[in-house]
Each structure stands twice: as C-alpha cells, then as structure tokens.
Structure 1
Amino acid sequence: MPNPTGKNGYGEKIVPSDEALEAALRRYAAQNLKLEVRIANLQSDLNYSIRLTKLKALNKKFRIPTVRKAPAIEVARQAIIDKVVMDITQQNGPNYFKTLLQQEGIMIPRDTVRQIMREHFPLGFENRFPGNKKSPIPRTALNACGPFHEISSDGHEKLGKQALDMGDIGLPIYGYKDKWSDEIPLMNFVPNSRTAAAIGHLFLDFIEFTGAAPRATFAPDIDPEVYAICRLIKSVHNTIIEAFWRWLKEKLGRNLKEFILIGKTERIFSADIDFHVSLFYWIFIPLLQAKLDEFRLWWNHHCVRTQQEKNMPSGHVPADAFTHPENYGGIDCRIAVPQAAVDDMRQMLTDEVGSRESHLSWYDLEFAELAAQVYSHIGKPRLSLETAWDVFQQMVQPIADVIEL
C-alpha cells in the first residue's frame, strides 16, 4: 500500500542535536558505562531510543574514545607515568589510574595500565599486596631527667557530642601527664578541647595549679634549639598520655557514660529544649569533675608496675616520685612561676582572645543564678550521680515557668 507521508507505525522520532549527543556519549565514556547502560541513559536523558548498531555508529561518528582503540603504547606509557609519579606513597592501584585517565578521554585497558605500572613502579605492588604489614611505628625506650622535663597534654573525646548523641551535650576532657613520674598534675572537663583560646587559658590554670612550668621567661639559660619549648605531635606519637586514656575509659569513663545516658534512655533530657543543656551542665559538671579528681588522685597514688629495664622510675607511686625525684635518681626540672606572672599572662591572653569564662564556662552567669535560686527553692536535695537526674526533673518545671514569663 502506498505511504505518501513516509511515516511508519512507530511515529515521528525526535533526534537530539549532535552537540547534545556527543556530550552525553563522552560523559558515558568517562564513566566507563556498559553499552546497554548507555542506550538506557540516552532514553532517560535525551528521550532518544536507539539500539546497539546505532550506538556504535554514533560512537564512530563522534570519535568517542574506547579501550578497544587505545592510544599508542608510548603515549599510554607516558600518560600513566605522569599520573603514578605523583602517588609518592604508592597506595593506589591500576583501577584508580585507569579511572583517572578516562576522565581525560584517555582510554587504556586495565591490563595495559597494570603492566606499565609493574615495569616502572614495582614496589607499589609489594606495598599493596593483601596481608603485607605496613612498617610499624618505631618504638624506643622513654627517657627523661625528672619531673617537668617533659609534660604531655591531650584531649579525650570519648564523652564528646558524637559519643553521647544528646544534642549539644559534650564532655571533652583535657589532661596533662608528667613523663618521668607518671603523675597527672591536672585533668579537667572542658567545654571545648580543640580551640587555642580554651587550651591557652587551661594551660595557665595548669601553671597556676602546679606553680611551675617549662620555661622560657624564667629559665632563659636553657637553649630552645636543644630543648624545644613545646612540640605538636600526632596522637600515635603522643604515647605518654594517649596510653593513659585507656585506663580512664576502663576504670571510670564507661561508668560515667552510663549515668549520663540515663537522661536520654528514660527521656528525661530533651535536646530540643535550650535550657535543658544548661541545666545538665549546672548539675552534672561539678559531680563529674569530682569523680575525675577522684580518679586522678587514685592514679597518682597507685603503684606503677615494676619494669627492670625501664630507664625511668618503675614500681613506684607517681605522686611520691613527682614530689621526691631525688629518691629515684631524678632531677627536679620544674621552674617556679610567680602568681603575678600568671596574672599578667592571663590578662595578655584575655586581651587577645577573651576572658577565661568566655572559653571555659559551661553556662552563662544569669542561668547560674536562676538555677541556684530554683535549687534552693526545692529544698536543696542531695546531689550525686545517683540522684542527679531526679534533681534535674524537679528543677525543670520551675525553671521553665520563670523562662516563659
């Protein structure tokens, strides 16, 4: 039967422009999609329905790169070397570089990439071999002359926001540990253990609490080129105090966490109510800090195990070695710092970054006064970790009534 219109039973097909087709096909090539997936994507992206033969014709027309038509071996070799030479640690394998190159329109079979990498970068394959152990961190015997020769400090986030999952509630800990004696001179809960301002004020607390510091102004005879004033090191190298955090977690941290989480599991605490956070801190921080001080006292008074080959004291009580280093063959390296100097440094730091209260306070003064009044109004019930959430519940409504006025 004649068909003067030239239309078949499939209706009129809308063909995308060459620019749109080429852009889509090059994008699919960069993603290394299978041919059937490219056909499906053309239908989804451009409403263009074709079959395999047509797709191959389009690839040929637009010169879409393919691994079957890889560049000359020397071109491929140089392209691969240019990429791999930037991988100094040799942690990435052939698949990684094959994918990188195809983003630039350079399609090279994986076997070719692997072969060239084998020829020019053989050590990378040995490093990445499954089961190959990475070089361990070198460990050496610890050495120090006496108390305050080296003080290690670090933050502990096992009771932080992510660990508790109670909204804005976070209880970071920051501590200082003497290398020679194992003494913990100071360890506090802090609102933030990551900002320089907070740690600056806390360091002045440490100097004020111990009455000493390592050193610059009050020991100018010590050459900082030989004995550095301070060093910033990775956690894996800060073993003096990092090893201590395990003891804190096992002896105290897990118990404290269980007490804290009662408020969440029994739905006493609501992260959506702003004053709940301040009230939590007002009630819990003194209790938690008291437990932390108790643990610090235990640590400083417990007997360290004996190690015959240790270069520093062992089989000793940290507090005694810290106080009487001469009895253990040590030298007292602490440098006395007068209170007036601490006050001057505190003022300098306050002028630069703000007051201590602005960085180390858990709640504002106005809320502290309100909480104290409400606590007095309900009869000042006994506060302990066992009763803390009961007191919290008693104080919630009176505080809410005042805030809503």
Structure 2
Amino acid sequence: MSKKRKGKEKAREESNSDHDSDTIDRETLEISSTARNPSGKNQYASTPSLQEIANILREYHKSNPDFRYADYIDALARDHGYKIGRTKIAGYLSQLGLSTSSRGNRMPKSEKTQIILDELAKDPLQTRGPRAIKESLNLLGHKIGRGDISDVMHDFEEEGFKKRHPRAKKKTNRTPLTAVGPDEEWSMDGHDKLNAAGFGVYGIRDKWAKKRLHYRVVPSNRYAAVVGVVFLECVKKCGGIPIQGSSDRGSEIRDAYAFQKSLREMFAPDLLDAVVPSWMFLPSPQNITVESGWRSLFYTWGVNVLEFYNSGLHGGFFEQGNIVHEQTARWIWFPVVQRSLDNFCNEQNNHRIQKQTEKLLPSGGTPNQFYSNPAKYGGKSCLIPVEEAVVDELLANCQEGHERMRYVDTAFEEIAQAAYDALEQPEITLQNAWTVFRAMIGKLEM
C-alpha cells in the first residue's frame, strides 16, 4: 500500500473516532439530564455511622424492645433528626445484636426453656398467656418466639390455658371513648383488692393513649392528702398537668382536685372552668379509662403478689403482733411490691394494641408510642407545662400526705437498713422476699 493511501485511511479512522466520542458525550449528557439522581448521592445525606448511634439504638431497644424497623426510623428522625433507611437500620441492629425478630435467635432449646420457666415462676396462678410472657421476656432482653413459649407452657402449665379461656371469664361491657390527644384527660382511681394485705394502690391513666402514667403502692388510698401527693408526683413526672382530670366522687380526690384547679388557673388562665371544666366527676362505672385496667392488673399482677405474700405470712415463721416482725415485713414488702407494680405498668405501656379501624382512640402501636408521638396516630399533645419549682413547693407542703404514705417508723428504717447491709444487700424480689425477711430477723434478734 502506498504512503499516500495509508495517510488517507489513518485520517478517516481519526475522524470516525472523534465522531464516536462526540456521540458518547452527547448520550452521557442526555442521560445525566434525565436521571432521577444524576449526582449519585442518595436521599439519606445525614446518615450517621454505627459508632455515632450505637448507644441510641441500644437505649431504644432497652426501653422499647418490641420496636420494629419503622419505629426505629421514626424515633431517630423525631428525636435526633437522622434519616436512615430500613436496610441500613437492619444492618446496624444486626451488628449490635439487637434483632427485631425472634426468628434469628439461635439460643439452645434448653436455655430457652429455662428462661421461660423462670418467667412462669413469677406467675404461680398462671394468669398470663404466651403473648404476655413474650412481652415480659422482651423487656428483659430475651427474644424468644411466641411458638416456643407456647410449647413450654403447654408442657408445664396446660391448666393455665383452660383458666384463661374467654368462656371461663365474665365479659365487661365497654363504652367507646374519645379524646383529642395525650394529656387531654387523666383518669384517676384507687384499687382496693390488695387492701387486706395492707397494700393500697392508686393509679393515674391517660385517656387518649391508655398509658399508665403513675401508679403508687401506699398504706391506704382513702386519704385525700395521699392522693394529692400521688397527683403532684405525676405532674412532676410528666412535666405538666392535663386539660382535665376525671374521677368518681370519692372524698379522697379533694386535694388532687384543688391542685389541678389552681395549677390550671396559674398556667392556662385562658381555659375558663365554665367552658372546659378542670375536673369531671363521674359515676364509678363511667370512669372506665382507669377502671377498665383494674381487672387485668389484679388478675395478672395482684393475685400473684398476694400468693407470694400470703405464702410467708402464714408460713410459720412470721409472728403476728411482734413489732419487729411486722416492721421488717413492711420494710421489705412495700418497696418490692412497688417495683413489681412498676414492672407491670412498663410491660402494659409497651404492649402492642392491634390495629382496630373502628376504634376511636389510637391502635396499631403501644401506649408509650401513642403518648410520645401522638401526631403519627392522629392526635396532638394537650399537656399544660408547669414550672417544676412550683410543684416542688407544693410537694414540700404536703406533710400530712407524706406522713400517711410512710410504711415503717422513721427510727426503724435505720435499724432495718443496718441489718440489710450486714447481709450485703441481696436483691429482693417477690420470690425471695420472705427468705430475706428470715435472714434479717436473724440479724435483728441476735
């Protein structure tokens, strides 16, 4: 081939190459201009690293063990402004060992069975079903499937299924409730079925979220001064007061009513009592927000407290009329019953309520979720903020209430604490309370 011909072909190849390059550049430009995400950056620009949010995720899991992926996403966005996708959240939780499901639990069957049996031992009257046991274990950090729990319960507590069958119980007719949002109305009432053992219970429950806000074990729930202290404790705990309180017409509501009325006049003067009453007095059957929770509280929690308490009270080592025995028993039992009640309320506040389209109040979540994130469930917060210093001053002036809530003599508290310290402060539970009692009596009677 001549040099002239080779030169022409080389020029033609270079021309074609330039044309191809121009075509590619034009196509790239066209694709870039029509792409949904030409920059290559995804929408979650503020996605934090695992190291940044590890403690946050652990805290969410600890306080809300029934959280699902959507719950983690919502909570992180609401509380910290983080935008994280489902896949990323799943990866983070997996790396931290915080599974949202019990399917991946590779715990040996023998270990699972023992954990389940330990939880069942807290319920000697078999009042709780597999779902309730599962929720309790979730709060303790044990992700065990409902099927595994049911199998163990059928093996060891078959009779309990018959006791809990709906046909074995009388059903209570319920009246539909409506409310705008959390803290619009607090429902208050006392529970007397543990009074025979000396444990009065008083509870405050939010109408909209059905959250158990503040439940207290007291020597007697019949005194207005005591109920007033319980109300102020709830105000301090929540950071404010509701638009309205509600209760039956018992005389024990006197102080709580006075506190609600005066605090609302001070911190929400635009709410006229003639238009929106600060308190609603209801017949007991209509005070159903808190009343409707007493049955489950007693037959799930209270009967077991009485079972454990009476087993030692009549066990032959407790001397009725012996002041040391009586004061020691009260020193041990009042705090342990309060802790047990707190655990019960925590379990109930984390109990997921199935979605009910016909329900006027929120469903498809837990009372804790309804209360902390009302907008997601069609509500709005109604809390009236109150200065903490004002509440502290009111509490400081409630000497009668504090004195009536005292369950042992002041002088005996130091004596009992010294005996307990000598035992190296063992953890006290409903199951071992009487064992600790006998050990403390041994120290006190030396």
Q: TM-score range by the shorter chain?
A: 0.5 to 0.7
What is the aligned-residue RMSD (CA, Å)?
2.0
CA distance in 1, matches of 2:424, 2:290: 42
2:231 aligns with 203
Q: Which has the larger radius of gyration?
A: 1
2:188 is matched by which residue type in structure 1?
S
Q: Deviations over 1:206-240 (max 9, x none)?
A: 11111110333211111211221113333211111
What displacement does 1:315 show? 2.3
Moved segments of 4+, more than 3 Å: 137-140, 378-382
Work out the CA distance in 1 between the residues paired with 2:428 and 2:223.
31
Once the two structures are superposed, residues 108-157 of structure 1 have per-residue CA deviations (whole angstroms, 9 ceiling, x without a partner) of: xxxxxxxxxxxxxxxxxxxxxxxxxxxxx997531111011111011111
Whether 1:388 and 2:404 are equivalent positions in the alignment is no
CA distance in 1, matches of 2:195, 2:319: 17
Residues in 1 aligned to 2:208 and 2:265: alpha-carbon distance in whole angstroms = 20
Cα deviation digits, residues 189-215 of structure 1 (max 9, x gap): 112111001111111111111111033
Query: Structure 1 counterpart of 2:190, which letter?
Result: G
Deviations 1:255-297 (A, max 9, x none): 1111101122312323311232221121122221111111111
- Structure 1: how far apart are the matches of 2:358 and 2:400? 47
The verdict on how the C-alpha distance between 1:227 and 1:277 changes in structure 2, with shifts beyond 3 A counting, is farther
From 344, 349, 362, the counterpart of 2:407: 362
**1:173 is aligned to 2:181:** no
| Cα distance change, pair 144–391 in 1 and its aligned pair in 2 (3 A) | same
User: Displacement of 1:366 after TM fit?
Assistant: 1.1
Query: Please, which of 184, 197, 211 is the counterpart of residue 212 of structure 2?
Result: 184
Identity %: 34
Shift of 1:306: 3.0
3-state DSSP class of the match of 2:416? Answer: helix
The TM-score with structure 1 as length reference comes to: 0.59
Q: CA offsets per residue over residues 27-47 of structure 1, 9 Å max, x none?
A: xxxxxxxxxxxxxxxxxxxxx
Contact 1:268 1:389 in 2 (8 A): no
SS in 1 for 2:184: coil
Residues 224-373 of structure 1 aligned to structure 2 (within 5 Å)? 224-347=273-396, 349-350=397-398, 354-373=399-418
Amino acid at match of 1:155: G
Partner residue, 1:147: 182
- 1:191, 1:271 → 2: CA distance? 18
SS in structure 2 at match of 1:316: coil
Counterpart residue type for residue 293 of structure 1: D
Deviation, 1:328, is 1.1
Paired residue secondary structure (1:175): strand
Q: 1:157 aligns with which of 192, 197, 201?
A: 192
The code of the aligned residue for 2:405 comes to L
User: Is the 1:216–1:229 contact (alpha carbons within 8 Å) kept by the matching residues of 2?
Assistant: no
Aligned residue identity for 1:146? G
The Cα of 1:400 is off from its aligned counterpart by 4.1
CA contact (8 A) 2:195 2:220 kept: no
User: Distance in 2 between the 1:238 and 1:382 partners?
Assistant: 38
Shift of 1:172: 1.0
Q: Give the conservation status (yes or no) of the 8 Å contact 1:147–1:333.
A: yes
The answer on whether the counterparts of 1:191 and 1:361 sit within 8 Å (CA) in structure 2 is yes
Equivalent-residue separation in structure 1 for 2:342 and 2:421 (angstroms): 26
Distance 1:250 1:140, change over 3 A: closer
Q: SS of 2:341's equivalent?
A: helix
| Distance across 1 between alignment mates of 2:334 and 2:174 | 38
Any stretches of 5+ residues in structure 2 without a counterpart? 1-171, 243-263
Partner of 2:221: 193
Q: Secondary structure at the match of 2:275?
A: coil
Number of matched pairs: 254
Residues 176 and 187 in structure 1, CA contact (< 8 A), matched pair in contact too:
yes
* Conserved 8 A contact 2:226-2:402: no
Q: Distance in 2 between matches of 1:290 and 1:148?
A: 25
- Closer, same or farther in 2 for the Cα pair 1:378/1:328, shift >3 Å? closer
